[in-house]
């Protein structure tokens, strides 16, 4: 926990950007009956019945010190999908960075081994050399600021029925642009000192 909090305390540095990374699944929901559009004095009406059209996965890249986020829609969240996200992070989003400080949870796909499983050894090593990985502790994923962005995405974009991946991508892209244009970010205030006071029970007890 303290490792992640210490990373959050470090000043902004273009050579060492901070990126919080997370993923979540989204259910694709379709209408059985076409909604009735809004009319004067009457809001739009939707039938309670719906149809399930499977799921899609969302990967969240969030750089709080740069007021920037990107959401990538995929079919799955496999080791290869994570590896592709890391390659995109170093080659597309932050190509000029020396190393990228990545905060993520300790899901079993979030490992250097996933890079070697997805790419040739030289390519995997090249990508890994640009990453500085920091993991939230077990049951401590709330320390990842990407979860806060997912909360905003859920309230501001995903509170509607989207029946296929193309529509999901369109809505997510529009939300991403609005948030980036508004320079929205997270003002993180929880520090290591706070953790030692408020979460004292989680620290080992040292007796004389």
d(CA 170, CA 165) in angstroms, rounded, equals: 9
Reference 157, options 142, 165, 145, 168; nearest CA is 168
The list of the chain residues with pLDDT below 50 reads none
Please say whether the beta carbons of 53 and 163 come within 8 A: yes
**How many C-beta atoms lie closer than 10 Å to residue 33's C-beta?**
11
Q: Hunting for tokens 């029946």 — which residue is that?
A: 163
pLDDT for the residue numbered 202: 67
What letters, b where the CB count within 10 A reaches 16 and e where it falls short, cover 58-87? Answer: bbbbbbbbbebbbbbbbeebebebbbbbbb
Q: Which CATH architecture has domain 2-32+48-200?
A: 2-Layer Sandwich (3.30)
d(CA 6, CA 3) in angstroms, rounded, equals: 5
pLDDT for the residue numbered 84: 98
pLDDT by residue (tens digit) across 145-176?
Answer: 999 999 999 999 988 878 889 999 999 999 99
Q: Where are the domains of the chain?
A: 2-32+48-200
Region of 204 (left: φ > 0; alpha: ψ -120 to 50; beta: rest) is beta
pLDDT for the residue numbered 33: 61
Sheet holding 18-31, edge to edge: 68-74, 50-63, 18-31, 100-104, 131-135
pLDDT for the residue numbered 183: 95
d(CA 69, CA 22) in angstroms, rounded, equals: 12
d(CA 102, CA 42) in angstroms, rounded, equals: 47
pLDDT for the residue numbered 161: 79
pLDDT for the residue numbered 73: 96
pLDDT for the residue numbered 146: 95
């Amino acid at each position: 926990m303290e490792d992640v909090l210490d990373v959050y305390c470090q000043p902004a540095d273009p050579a060492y950007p901070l990126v919080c990374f997370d993923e979540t699944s989204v259910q694709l929901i379709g209408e059985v009956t076409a909604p009735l559009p809004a009319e004067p004095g009457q809001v739009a009406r939707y039938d309670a019945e719906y149809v399930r059209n499977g799921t899609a996965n969302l990967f969240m890249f969030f750089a709080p010190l740069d007021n920037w986020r990107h959401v990538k829609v995929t079919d799955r969240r496999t080791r290869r999908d994570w590896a592709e996200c890391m390659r995109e992070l170093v080659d597309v989003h932050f190509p000029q960075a020396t190393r990228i400080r990545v905060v993520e949870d300790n899901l079993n796909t979030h490992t250097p081994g996933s890079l070697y499983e997805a790419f040739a050894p030289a390519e995997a090593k090249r990508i890994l050399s640009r990453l500085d990985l920091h993991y939230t502790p077990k049951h401590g994923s709330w320390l990842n600021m990407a979860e806060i962005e997912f909360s905003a995405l859920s309230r501001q974009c995903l509170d509607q029925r989207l029946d296929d991946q193309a529509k999901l991508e369109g809505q997510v892209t529009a939300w991403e642009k609005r948030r980036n244009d508004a320079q929205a970010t997270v003002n993180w205030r929880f520090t290591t000192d706070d953790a030692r006071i408020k979460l004292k029970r989680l620290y080992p007890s040292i007796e004389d």
